[in-house]
Structure formats: structure tokens, C-alpha cells
């Protein structure tokens, strides 16, 4: 077992565009970070090797497989004996025009809901016993990475928007259910400058910038900074949806 002194953060989807920045920010803040991955084992291990500090690990965390998540929790317990922070960053989507109801087929709907909604709940369920035992100042923290699409109902497809609205609602329910030992917060970004967004049509990107009062997109590091703030600074906040959106709903 690792030294039990430093807090431990588990990040599902940790090797993704936003997840990488979150893992880096938590590591720089002195936490031991478990980079949870589904298929990107190599990328997760490369990220672990690049993180400052010691005690980090890349562990399989397929959020649609509850048995595998139970195994993740068992491994985290055996290796660290604690879990203080869970960041639910794993998610999936695909662009389907909102009016194309046939294009949003049942299989895609099931994949989105299983990953973005059930996966969040399953990760919380598996790690709750460890989170309950956290000695972190302010208590353990669950941070769900949501989206502005939950509010505006504008996003990659209808079901993605619905899934993020479900995450925000779940954040409130879990905040009530898991208090006072565990705080639960949603971080809700607008468009974030990931490689996925950078690959989009430039005219579309320019239109999004024009619709955003601060005239730019969020950086992954800004989302990561909000996660760290939720853990360290918002110690009397739970059940809240924290927007990182440049004021987009104001336009």
C-alpha cells in the first residue's frame, strides 16, 4: 500500500482532452491521481508518467461496466486505502442534427445514456465506501463534468443535452443523499478548446465565439482550475452547478 498521507483523486475519462488537464491540476495540487481509462491504456500511462509528484496510477475504469468499477474500487482500496475525490469526466457523444430523429438511433441513445448518466452513478456507487472514509478537509468531493447543453438544450445531439441535464439533476439528488460526508458539485463548461472542437469547421467556431460574451472558448485548464477550486475552496458548497461558459446564456 502507498503512503496514506496524500489525498487520492480518481478521474474517469482521465486520458481525454479535458481529463488530462484535470489530472494535471490535481497532481500539481499535491494529490495522487488515478487516471481512469476505458480503451486508452497507453495514453493513460503516458499521462501518469508525465504527472508531477508520486503515487499516480493508470487503472481501467469502463464506466458502463459496474463489475469492473467494483474492481477499480477494490484496487484503489488495496493500493491507497482511501479515495478523497472522484471526478466523473468520462463521456461520449456524436453530432446528429436535432431535427434528424432517425439519425439518433436507439443504439446511440443507449450508449450516450449508459456512459454519461448511468456511468456517473455507477462510479459514485462503487467508490462511495472509500469516499465516506475520507479525512480531506471539507469532506470528500464528487465533481461531475456536465455541460452548458444541460441548460440551453443546444449541443451535439438531443440525447447528449438530455444526458447532461440528467447529470445536473443527479448532482443535486446525490448532494442531498451523501451529505454531510461527501459534497457533490457539477462543473458545467460551455465549448472547450479540445482537439475535437478544434477540428470543427472554422465558420462554426467563429459563430460560437460571436455568441459568447467573452469572445473565446474555455481552455481545458480553466475547467481543471474549477475542479480544483470545487475541491479546495468551495468547502460549504454542494449540489451546485458551476458554469464555466464565458457568459454564453447571456447572449
Residues identified as active-site = 160
Nearest to 232 by CA among 108, 94, 104, 136: 136
Asked if 86 and 62 count as a contact pair (C-beta separation under 8 A), the reply is no
Nearest to 194 by CA among 73, 17, 62: 17
CA distance 197 to 173: 31
Cβ neighbour number for residue 98 with a 10 Å cutoff: 14
Q: What secondary structure does DSSP assign to 99-168, as a single string?
A: T-TTTS-HHHHHHHHIIIIIHHHHHHHHHHHHHHT---TT-EEEEEE--THHHH--SS-HHHHHHHHHHH
Contacts of 67 (CB under 8 A, 6+ apart): none
The position carrying cell 459568447 is 212
CA distance 26 to 125: 22
Give the largest CA-CA distance in the chain. Answer: 54
Segment (H or E) for 187: strand 182-189
Amino acid at each position: 500500500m502507498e503512503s496514506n498521507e496524500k489525498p487520492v483523486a480518481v478521474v474517469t475519462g482521465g486520458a481525454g482532452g479535458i481529463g488530462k488537464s484535470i489530472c494535471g491540476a490535481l497532481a500539481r495540487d499535491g494529490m495522487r491521481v488515478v487516471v481512469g481509462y476505458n480503451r486508452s491504456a497507453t495514453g493513460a500511462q503516458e499521462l501518469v508518467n508525465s504527472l508531477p509528484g508520486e503515487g499516480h496510477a493508470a487503472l481501467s475504469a469502463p464506466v458502463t461496466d459496474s463489475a469492473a468499477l467494483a474492481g477499480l474500487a477494490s484496487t484503489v482500496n488495496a493500493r491507497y486505502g482511501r479515495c478523497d475525490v472522484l471526478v466523473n469526466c468520462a463521456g461520449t457523444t456524436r453530432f446528429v442534427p436535432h431535427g434528424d430523429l432517425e439519425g439518433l438511433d436507439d443504439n446511440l441513445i443507449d450508449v450516450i445514456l449508459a456512459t454519461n448518466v448511468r456511468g456517473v452513478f455507477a462510479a459514485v456507487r462503487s467508490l462511495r465506501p472509500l469516499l465516506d472514509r475520507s479525512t480531506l478537509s471539507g469532506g470528500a468531493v464528487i465533481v461531475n463534468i456536465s455541460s452548458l447543453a444541460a441548460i440551453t438544450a443546444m449541443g451535439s445531439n438531443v440525447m447528449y443535452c438530455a444526458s447532461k441535464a440528467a447529470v445536473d439533476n443527479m448532482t443535486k439528488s446525490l448532494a442531498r443523499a451523501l451529505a454531510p460526508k461527501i459534497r457533490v458539485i457539477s462543473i458545467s463548461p460551455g465549448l472547450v478548446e479540445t482537439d475535437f472542437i478544434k477540428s470543427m469547421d472554422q465558420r462554426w467556431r467563429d459563430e460560437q465565439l460571436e455568441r459568447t460574451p467573452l469572445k473565446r472558448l474555455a481552455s481545458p485548464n480553466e475547467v481543471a482550475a474549477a475542479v480544483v477550486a470545487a475541491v479546495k475552496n468551495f468547502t460549504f458548497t454542494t449540489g451546485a452547478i458551476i458554469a464555466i461558459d464565458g457568459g454564453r446564456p447571456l447572449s
